[in-house]
Amino acid sequence: MDSIGKMFQGKKFLVLGVANKKSIAWGISEALHQQGAELALTFMNEAIEKRVRPLAAELGDALALPCDVQSDEEISNLFAELEGRWGKIDGIVHSVAYAEREDLQNPFSQTTRTGFQTALDISAYSLVALCGRAKPLFSEEASVISMSYLGSERAVENYNVMGVAKAALESSTRYLAAELGESGVRVNAISAGPIKTLAASGIPKFKELLAHFAEKAPLRRNVDTGDVARTALYLLSPLSSGVTGEVLYVDGGYSRVGA
């Protein structure tokens, strides 16, 4: 890990999606901080700001900046602030997703039009918008990662419109990788197994899903934020210099077996 630490010393990363210490984004932020990175965290409203600012203080006084990813103006303001403070950025960690609770609980065919638009906007289009605005600020060999899930390619019970959003996210990853690759920027996604987070609490029968994964996965356990964070370090560092447009599974092998 010492060599990775040297790689991240002086590097600057934007992290979206920290809600509390159970967040996947928090696990990645902690790992980056421990390896010498300078960080900026975002919050979308005052309620989340109250939780994010103390967490930012634990990460070497990381920046805490407002950004509602549904607002082009706030995205633009975010990167204007980062350009003024940092000049360049070395990567983005996109760990943002949302769907209305009723659109997860109801049959998929009953997904509302506005619910569909909201899920796709926040969970997938936001990555496109962020990369578009960040493009002139990316340093050489910058890296972007986002968080996906197996529901993107399989019909997972109660995942519904979020599965469609994750499929769009993964497709967007490939198109962004093709576009940004000529300037040396890599774009990848991590498809993690189910983890107890605030976002996951909105999925019906989530405890049963965790138990099923632990029983059927080759490793016979659920993954945690540490497993995902270590893979994130790999994708954000020069160790993965030849990897882009990929979806890496961190799910104990569940996606590889006929469970």
CATH number of the domain bearing residue 223: 3.40.50.720
- Distances from the Cα of 183 to the Cαs of 136, 241, 255, 257, in angstroms? 10, 13, 32, 37
Average pLDDT of the residues in 45-58: 96
Task: Compute the radius of gyration of the chain from its Cα atoms.
Answer: 17
Is 149 one of the annotated active-site residues of the chain? yes
Annotated catalytic residue, options 159, 234, 249, 254:
159
Put the strands of the sheet holding 12-16 in their side by side order.
63-66, 38-43, 12-16, 89-94, 138-148, 186-192, 247-250
Quick check: is 259 in a domain? no
Average pLDDT of the residues in 154-171: 95
- The pLDDT of residue 14 is above 60: yes
Average pLDDT of the residues in 127-144: 97
Q: Percent of the chain, pLDDT > 90?
A: 83
Positions of E strands within the chain: 12-16, 38-43, 63-66, 89-94, 138-148, 186-192, 247-250
Average pLDDT of the residues in 69-79: 98
- The pLDDT of residue 201 is above 70: no
Average pLDDT of the residues in 243-255: 95
Q: How many DSSP H helices and E strands does the chain contain?
A: 10, 7
Average pLDDT of the residues in 207-231: 90
Q: How many structural domains is the chain composed of? A: 1
- pLDDT for 200 equals 64
- The pLDDT of residue 15 is above 90: yes
Quick check: is 191 in a domain? yes
Quick check: is 119 in a domain? yes
Q: Percent of the chain, pLDDT > 70?
A: 94
pLDDT class of 27 with cuts at 50, 70, 90: very high
- The pLDDT of residue 125 is above 80: yes
Quick check: is 257 in a domain? no
Quick check: is 84 in a domain? yes
- The pLDDT of residue 3 is above 60: no
Quick check: is 151 in a domain? yes
- pLDDT for 23 equals 94
pLDDT class of 211 with cuts at 50, 70, 90: confident
**Distance from first CA to last CA of the chain, Å, rounded?**
34
pLDDT class of 77 with cuts at 50, 70, 90: very high
**Which residue in 92, 76, 68 sits closest to 12, CA to CA?**
92
Quick check: is 256 in a domain? no
- The pLDDT of residue 4 is above 60: no
- pLDDT for 1 equals 46
Annotated catalytic residue, options 98, 125, 149, 175:
149
Quick check: is 106 in a domain? yes
Residue 134: which domain range? Answer: 2-250
